[in-house]
Structure 1
Amino acid sequence: MLLGLLFGLAGMGSSSAAIALPLIGDEFGIGVGGATWTISLYTLMLAVTTAVYGRVSDLVGVRIPLLVGIGLMTGGALVAALAPTYSVLLVARLLQGAGAAAVPTLGVAVLSARYAGPMRGLALGRLAATAAAISCLGPLVGGVVEHAFGWRAVMALPILGALVLPLIWRALTGEGTGASLDVIGAVMVAATAAGLVLLVQSPSTGGLVALLGTLLIVFGAPAVVWWVRRRPHGFLPMSVVRNPVVVSSAVAASAIPAAWFALLIGVPAVLVAEGWETWQVGLLLVPSAVVALFVPRFAGPLIDRVGPAASIAAAAVGASLALLLAALGTRLVSPPLLGLVVVVVTVIFGMAQPALSVAVGDAVRGEERGVALGVATLFFMVGGSVGSAFVGGLGDVVGIPLSLVALAVLPLLGAGVMVPQVRRSRVLA
């Protein structure tokens, strides 16, 4: 529960900030599309540094990397709250995301090491549910704080995560293998992932950003492949990236946070444009926080019964349908429909995240669990960055409803990726 609270506060760095995007855009004269970079860059750094923390935890244990991560998250939040310019705000959000990335990877690693079998699925489900509930309260908390103190106070909310660390310190391990960290591999992966996000967000920022994103992908992807072959035990271990369960599960599950972050951007933007106050938007999303608390009651047993592969596939299909309903809701500006869709995606997220952790944790050896979970979380959170970039980039050009329709294709592709794994699990059963 404490790890879930910490996870949720890290997630609140996006959910509470999303409610303030229109105000940030007005403050710096950049519009909502430009302000979306504060979410996209945050989730990008959250994604690309998760695997770093996973690898470091294998080497030196959980305590030091979690302490560093919380320090970066709180420091970045403070700088963001005091940022005098938009450029400083973006740098602060990068630091904040780089720190917050420690929480999901290390939290999952701690629970995966402490529990096994059905209890692991239950524990991971409770972790995801608590995190989702706190994150879902982010828009309401952010709206209330913004209404009372302004958007800068919203940026400072993740500082509360520092208060949780002393409560869980004794449960964290401080020992690792003592091996070295592949810094070059980490930079290559980060650059390639950044290229994808830049390319997706480029419709609202121009051709230069699109060109930069394309170059990073074109040169980065082959470079990562070459480096993995040269350093098979480096940042992306060959045994992990060649594991079909890890790769297919991570790719498919990445569509779930894409839907989640797309709604975090799209729903507030549409309703605030219609004259809603930020706290009113947050109040609309409160039911999703309540529902999130009950997800572990069925998510863990369901994953144990049908298997993580089928759970991820079902979640991907559900996410696609939810995005189509969200497109209709934003088109009609229907608050009840949008609130219902957020509830549905919350349930889906609460099932997909622990299913991914169970699938990856069971597919690798114990000494590789940390880095494998880090790689899986990297894919998972890159999906979130792509989702926010989709709405902030493409949505700024064609409108939020059409951007959600286009994004709905991604979860269907993810479900297709899981088909061979689902069939294999049924044969083995």
Structure 2
Amino acid sequence: MNLPHAPTAPAPPVPRPGAALAALAAAQFTVMVATSNVNVALPRIAAGIGLSDGATTWVVNAYGLAFGALLLAGGRAADLLGRRRVLLIGLGLFAVASLVAGLAGSASVLIAARAVQGVGAAAIAPAALALALALFPPSPGRSRVLGVWGAVSGAGAAGGVLLGGALTQAWGWPWIFHSVALGTVLVLVTVVVLVPRTADRAAGRFDLLGTAAVTLALTCLVWGLTTARGTGWTDARVAAALGGSLLLLVAFAVIEMRRPDALLPPRLFATGRVAAGNLLMALLGSVWIALFFFLPLYQQQVLGQGPLLTGIGQLPLAAANIIGASLAPRISRRLGATATLTAALLTEATGLLWLSRISADGSFAADVLGPSILVGLGLGIAFVLLTALAVEGVAARDAGLAGGLVNTTRQVGGAVGLAALATLSGSVTAHAAVHGPHLEALTSGYRTAFTISAWVVAGTAVLALLLARRAGHPGPARATTAALPSTDAADPARLSRTG
């Protein structure tokens, strides 16, 4: 189906760009909250509606599977159908699914509602980012957008644990979904009021065949990885899913080379920086999502904290993340993007290595507080710079797709990392349980996960240096452009072309 591109006059600047950015950031915050608010409530959810161990896992996996698999399709749909329109549809779907999840009385309804939440999130995330980039001109306005985006993304992930713990302990697990439904409705209303209506869309044909191939490939990949956490890597279903994913990705590459309106057009990777940014974001995501899985488990299962205390324990990490994301543009202008990114990743790696020294008879103050601050600072800065790199030089017509791609790499990277680390951690715990106490065995598994995470992030820092040289940014002065990209997608005069 061809989507027409009607010519329009340049739109005037947005009268309240700060308020519009706040509304769009709230949409991103809502999506990030939903990725982590369920983790701390899983024991209560399982007891409340009688979930088996496998079904409990899919309360988390269903959301991540739909979210990760459909982000590219959501980003391209936003470019072609209108970003504001797709954002509002995504928010409406997200709100309804959240309400149904809170009212669910059976495992099947809850898991289905979580999957629909993921579909809504896949529409929200790329559309909101593309609209946010369109609100402000290039540097320094772009740095403001990316700083806010980094802050709300990290704060949303940590805040989800706090919200989930507080609501579960106070009013019961259904309220983690009811609160998200209410919050999403408020966000939808603010977007309607504050984000300007636009009248134009990008030209082109929706790549149905390519979209189907990559969506099925990502579905098989994420499903195989998440299932491997419970069944092991040698399970026949896991092998079939991963093999099918590889074949579908090859088919997707062949399809894209032959289509004039490809889902991932070659022009998106012309500078090399989009590919570099997404590769590094995938590595960062592999550790990011695992962090918010293992850290609450250690606090609850080893330190004995309840849901509320576990959530409160995420506040230092969230505060450090917000500070890091807010300072990232300023530090980058002074030191250069390459130096800043490398320092941020090494700071995060140091915090994770510190976490690898947790003990079975430890405490939050001694074992978690200090490293959480280091991890949060590094994560906040790195997220801002990598998001900037992944959208640098992207034309306005592809802004939604670029936003979908960077979210996809983070989400899929997270699925890969969590599956691998959970399997490794479980193996270490099982082996240690034969020779020692249960709590010490659990702690050994978590220590292993944090150790591997630290080395992954340190390796990412080295890779960032190598990629910076290849991209022509060997020194701080020239590398600053990678942190503060200049792209027509950020021009308010082109807002009518962002949907």
TM-score, normalised relative to structure 1: 0.89
- Does the aligned pair in 1 maintain the 2:325–2:377 contact within 8 Å? no
Mapping of residues 145-160 of structure 1, within 5 Å = 145-159=167-181, 160=183
1:204 is aligned to 2:227: no
Q: Structure 1 residue 332: deviation in Å?
A: 5.9
Q: Which residue of structure 2 lines up, in the alignment, with residue 301 of structure 1?
A: 330
Q: Which residue of structure 2 lines up, in the alignment, with residue 117 of structure 1?
A: 139
Consecutive unaligned residues of structure 2, counting only runs of 5 or more, are 1-21, 429-444, 479-499
Q: Which residue of structure 1 lines up, in the alignment, with residue 190 of structure 2?
A: 167
CA change 1:26–1:339 in 2 (3 A) is farther
**Which residue identity lines up with residue 323 of structure 2 in the other structure?**
F
Mapping of residues 40-51 of structure 1, within 5 Å = 40-51=61-72
- Does the aligned pair in 1 maintain the 2:347–2:377 contact within 8 Å? no
1:17 is aligned to 2:38: yes
Mapping of residues 379-394 of structure 1, within 5 Å = 379-394=409-424
CA distance in 1 between counterparts of 2:92 and 2:229 reads 34
Candidates 288, 309, 320, aligned match of 2:317: 288
Candidates 281, 294, 298, aligned match of 1:266: 294
CA distance in 1 between counterparts of 2:405 and 2:339 reads 21
CA distance in 1 between counterparts of 2:222 and 2:159 reads 26
Mapping of residues 50-129 of structure 1, within 5 Å = 50-115=71-136, 116-129=138-151
Q: Structure 1 residue 99: deviation in Å?
A: 0.9
What SS does the aligned partner of 2:141 have? helix
- Does the aligned pair in 2 maintain the 1:198–1:212 contact within 8 Å? no
1:137 is aligned to 2:159: yes
CA change 1:29–1:40 in 2 (3 A) is closer
Q: Which residue of structure 2 lines up, in the alignment, with residue 359 of structure 1?
A: 389
Question: What per-residue deviation string (whole Å, max 9, x for no partner) do you get for residues 95-118 of structure 1?
Answer: 111212333322221222222112
1:189 is aligned to 2:214: yes
CA change 1:320–1:2 in 2 (3 A) is same
CA distance in 2 between counterparts of 1:251 and 1:332 reads 38
Q: Whose helix proportion is higher, 1 or 2?
A: 1
Candidates 462, 468, 473, aligned match of 1:425: 473
**Which residue identity lines up with residue 204 of structure 1 in the other structure?**
G
CA distance in 2 between counterparts of 1:77 and 1:271 reads 27
Q: Structure 1 residue 150: deviation in Å?
A: 1.7
CA change 1:367–1:381 in 2 (3 A) is same
Consecutive unaligned residues of structure 1, counting only runs of 5 or more, are none
Moved more, 54-63 or 321-330: 321-330
Q: Which residue of structure 2 lines up, in the alignment, with residue 411 of structure 1?
A: 457
CA change 1:210–1:330 in 2 (3 A) is farther
CA distance in 1 between counterparts of 2:52 and 2:353 reads 28
**Which residue identity lines up with residue 179 of structure 1 in the other structure?**
G
Q: Identity percentage over the alignment? A: 25
Question: What per-residue deviation string (whole Å, max 9, x for no partner) do you get for residues 45-85 of structure 1?
Answer: 32332222221222122111101111221122122223333
- Does the aligned pair in 2 maintain the 1:44–1:381 contact within 8 Å? no
- Does the aligned pair in 2 maintain the 1:49–1:101 contact within 8 Å? yes
- Does the aligned pair in 2 maintain the 1:77–1:93 contact within 8 Å? yes
TM-score, normalised relative to structure 2: 0.78
- Does the aligned pair in 1 maintain the 2:222–2:416 contact within 8 Å? yes
Q: Which runs of 4+ in 1 moved over 6 A?
A: none
CA change 1:351–1:209 in 2 (3 A) is farther
CA change 1:358–1:55 in 2 (3 A) is same
Question: What per-residue deviation string (whole Å, max 9, x for no partner) do you get for residues 348-372 of structure 1?
Answer: 3322232123223323233223212
- Does the aligned pair in 2 maintain the 1:57–1:106 contact within 8 Å? yes
CA distance in 2 between counterparts of 1:303 and 1:3 reads 24
CA distance in 1 between counterparts of 2:425 and 2:212 reads 30
CA change 1:75–1:266 in 2 (3 A) is same
CA change 1:203–1:373 in 2 (3 A) is closer
Q: Structure 1 residue 34: deviation in Å?
A: 6.1
Q: Which residue of structure 1 lines up, in the alignment, with residue 354 of structure 2?
A: 325
- Does the aligned pair in 1 maintain the 2:268–2:274 contact within 8 Å? yes
CA distance in 2 between counterparts of 1:157 and 1:8 reads 13
**Which residue identity lines up with residue 270 of structure 1 in the other structure?**
Y
Aligned length: 428
CA distance in 2 between counterparts of 1:333 and 1:191 reads 44
Moved more, 221-230 or 381-390: 381-390
CA change 1:47–1:307 in 2 (3 A) is farther
CA change 1:324–1:293 in 2 (3 A) is closer
Q: Which residue of structure 2 lines up, in the alignment, with residue 176 of structure 1?
A: 201
Q: Structure 1 residue 413: deviation in Å?
A: 4.2
Q: Structure 1 residue 279: deviation in Å?
A: 0.2
CA change 1:51–1:304 in 2 (3 A) is farther
CA change 1:327–1:185 in 2 (3 A) is farther
Moved more, 384-393 or 155-164: 384-393
Q: Structure 1 residue 281: deviation in Å?
A: 0.5
- Does the aligned pair in 1 maintain the 2:321–2:378 contact within 8 Å? no
CA change 1:173–1:397 in 2 (3 A) is farther
Moved more, 399-408 or 1-10: 399-408
What SS does the aligned partner of 1:295 have? helix
Q: Structure 1 residue 219: deviation in Å?
A: 1.1
**Which residue identity lines up with residue 180 of structure 1 in the other structure?**
R
